[in-house]
Amino acid sequence: MILGIGNDLCDIRRIERTLERFGDRFLDRVFTDLERKRAFARGEPAPTLAKRFAAKEACAKALGTGLRNGTFWRDMGVVNLPSGRPTLALTGGAKEHLDRMTPAGYEARIDLTLTDESPLAAAVVVISAAPKA
């Protein structure tokens, strides 16, 4: 069953300007260490960061909380499963909210798709629940 759906669009140029203006202050507030490492391993970090920014916004929408009610940027981190499929690892308030919205006897799954076509990056998040095996 689908518990929540969210999508977001992010202008890569906005992320570039924010990086120039706020640097580590912005990075520390929004991105996990793993996300930062992955973005800066590439020559141009802004497109990767913009996709992850959009993923966090989309996840907050799918959770139904937005970035309030105890859900913070770094509570949602884009990770890749061994297959390479992207998903989100939730901690803190985001994880607590996910646990509350998941029915008893079910486990949550977060599906994520990311894309970019300069100057835009986009993400779609679907949170679903399936009976525990």
The dihedrals phi and psi of 65, each to the nearest 5 degrees, come to -105, -25
Q: Give CATH superfamily name and number for 2-131.
A: 4'-phosphopantetheinyl transferase domain (3.90.470.20)
The dihedrals phi and psi of 119, each to the nearest 5 degrees, come to -100, 15
Q: Does residue 61 carry a pLDDT above 90?
A: yes
Q: 3-class DSSP state for residue 45?
A: helix
The gap between the terminal CA atoms of the chain, to the nearest Å, is 15
Task: Say if CB 121 and CB 50 are below 8 A apart.
Answer: yes
pLDDT value, residue 68: 87
116 annotated as ligand-binding: no
CA-wise closest residue to 80 among 123, 130, 38, 122: 38
pTM of this prediction? 0.95
Give the percent of the chain with pLDDT over 90: 93
Kindly list the domain boundaries of the chain, sorted by start residue. Answer: 2-131
75 annotated as ligand-binding: no
